[in-house]
Amino acid sequence: MSSDQFTIAFAGGTNLTKAHEVTERMSEDIDIKILRTDQRLTGNPLKRELKAFRMSLCDALLDTGFKFDPEDRSQVEVHREGPEYNEEDERLVRHLYDLCMMESKINIAAVGALAREVANLDAVERAHQAPSFAKDPTGSLKTAIDLLTKHERYASQYIEFMDAMVYGEERPSFEQAHIFVSKLVQQTWGR
């Protein structure tokens, strides 16, 4: 689905699993990003066009059998809360798995450069939604990794996630995934 002003792209685990066949896990949701293709549109005209496109996207998803309330913006908005990691963030474990599964398929230096660029852009774009991330994106990401090592419950959440969501034969342990992600963070942010 696309228009003159927008197109869509799968993101997150859905992208890795379905589009690139990197992971072998179920997705709890689908992450769809709405991307601008025409940078000339700004202000209120952009907002109107984006709202119309978003509603068309919701209608198309509903027509194909997805079940959600399009009026509940938390279900149809691009997640904009930013990576405000806290001790209750259970998403960390699925990201561990996803990143570990990419190990043999990526150029760590190139991914690191891209990760730094995206983190810095997110810090600017999400400043009002995630002020602590905007102030210190590197520190926020390092905090997320530190949480994984300091709290044993993430190891149990990882095992539960693997049992419930991963259907592939390659099943890295929590320790293997954590070692790879720590190495990635160290090479990317010099930790």
Long-range contacts of residues 37-45, Cβ cutoff 8 Å, at least 24 apart: 37/2, 37/3, 37/4, 37/5, 37/6, 37/7, 38/4, 38/5, 41/5
Band the pLDDT of 159: cuts 50, 70, 90: very high
**Mean pLDDT in residue range 29-52:** 85
Cα→Cα distances 2→129, 132, 170, Å: 27, 34, 35
pLDDT of residue 75: 53
pLDDT of residue 109: 86
Band the pLDDT of 89: cuts 50, 70, 90: low
- pLDDT above 70 covers a percentage of the chain that reads 86
84 pLDDT exceeds 70?
A: no
pLDDT of residue 74: 56
87 pLDDT exceeds 70?
A: no
pLDDT, tens digit, 9 for 90 and up, residues 58-83:
888 889 888 878 777 555 543 333 33
pLDDT of residue 122: 83
d(CA 181, CA 98): 10
Q: Is the pTM of this model over 0.75?
A: no
Q: Are 12 and 95 in contact (CB under 8 A)?
A: no
Q: Are 85 and 92 in contact (CB under 8 A)?
A: yes
The residue extents of the domains of the chain are: 6-76, 91-189
**Mean pLDDT in residue range 110-134:** 84
